[in-house]
Amino acid sequence: MIVLFNLQADLAANVQSIRSIPQTEKRSYDSLQYESEADQCLSVFQNWEEHQQVDFATKLLSKMCHYQHGQINNYLKPMLQRDFITTLTGTTCRRLC
């Protein structure tokens, strides 16, 4: 909990510092800043128990828009599809053929 509070404080400070950067430099700074913050968040996330991770992901999804849900769905769909052919037993395969 303390780590998340510190991350939120760091994020707020980073937003203030980003506002002071000239527009031409923002793109590269934003990319570097994003990578750093994403790594920090993932480190915290990986230390949580599974049910905590699920709870956090649920809260995160609730903050996203419909378009973002579609992007996540497209990412997850191949992972969630099952290869039923390889899980069928030999007997079942012979019945189907």
Q: Kindly state the average pLDDT of the residues 71-83.
A: 85
> CA 61 to CA 72: how far, in whole Å?
9
Q: 61, 72 in Cβ contact below 8 A? A: yes
Name the residue with tokens 């956090």. Answer: 56
What are the residue ranges spanned by the domains of the chain? 2-96
- Residue 18's pLDDT is what? 47
- Residue 29's pLDDT is what? 59
Q: Give the tens place of pLDDT for each residue, 25-60.
A: 556 657 888 889 999 999 999 999 999 999 999 999
> Which of 53, 46, 80, 84 is closest to 72 using CA atoms?
80
- Mean pLDDT of all residues in the chain? 76
Q: 56, 48 in Cβ contact below 8 A? A: yes
Q: How many CB atoms lie under 10 A from the CB of residue 88?
A: 13
